[in-house]
Amino acid sequence: MTAEPSSLTALVRRARRINRELALLYPDAHTELNFSTPLELLVATILSAQTTDKRVNLVTPTLFARYPTAADYAAADRDELEKIITSTGFYHAKANSLIGLGQALCDRFGGEVPPRLRDLVTLPGVGRKTANVVLGNAFGIPGITVDTHFGRLARRFGWTTSTDPVKIEAEVGALFPRRDWTMLSHRLIWHGRRVCHARRPACGACALTRLCPSFGEGPTDPVIAAKLVKPGPFS
Ligand code: SF4
């Protein structure tokens, strides 16, 4: 980001106001994947690639009951595992990731999910986005989750011009205190799913009309915009 100091101050101020508005709008924003342990969240996040959280949540009760530990994934029968996760799509690749994940956790981390970014990203099927989801939500370590919604909204808010997730993470992270990163991620994702869609954002029904520099990218008529809002839940 190349903003001058004064415009940077204005950018930070507006960014934090947007975050506060979103906090009022979505007081209980959270990951829409169901989980109860770091391993379950890691597995659910891997499965969520190219599909919806809702679809993942339909298969994980069976999956988590059948494979409660990393060693269970390491020793999984591929056909059986693929059958359970088929409906999430890309099930060959996802089964590879889950079996490899189980093996890597057993070989290098004593069967436990490591609570560090630099360890998590060495695991099969785990990129920065997945690692930050797990850090933020299973370990309480602040992380920015740059998914498609987060990236799009960050650009619409003028927080970045980049489409590179690593750059977006760094540029947005610089605008907020670390302690805000995880909840900020949830709020942007929730707003992206419900109101600020990729095609036809519901600008006329958006709580951020006065703060968002991209107001007008979608219909501004309140009645038309209200019809575009998707109320959720998405899980
Ligand atoms: S005003 Fe429009 S572009 Fe801006 S956040 Fe709201 S829906 Fe998205």
> Per-residue pLDDT for 233 more than 80?
no
Residues in the chain: 235
CA of 208 to the centre of ligand 1 (A): 6
- 147 catalytic? Reply is yes
CA of 207 to the centre of ligand 1 (A): 8
Q: What is the pTM assigned to this prediction?
A: 0.88
Widest Cα–Cα separation across the chain: 59
Is ligand 1 within 6 A of the CB of residue 102? Answer: no
Is ligand 1 within 6 A of the CB of residue 188? Answer: no
Give the integer Cα–Cα distance in Å for 147 and 149: 6
Q: Which of 72, 119, 147, 180 is catalytic?
A: 147
Tell me the pLDDT of the chain averaged across its residues: 95
Is it true that the peptide bond before 114 is cis, omega within 30 degrees of 0? Answer: no
Q: pLDDT tens for residues 16-75?
A: 999 999 999 999 999 999 999 999 999 999 999 999 999 999 999 999 999 999 999 999
pLDDT of residue 235: 66
pLDDT > 70 in the chain, percent: 97
Q: pLDDT tens for residues 168-206?
A: 999 999 999 999 999 999 999 999 999 999 999 999 999
pLDDT of residue 124: 93
CA dist 9 to 13, 144, 168, 174, 203, Å? 6, 21, 18, 12, 25
- 72 catalytic? Reply is no
> Per-residue pLDDT for 2 more than 60?
no
pLDDT of residue 148: 94
Q: Whose CA is nearest to atom 2 of ligand 1?
A: 203
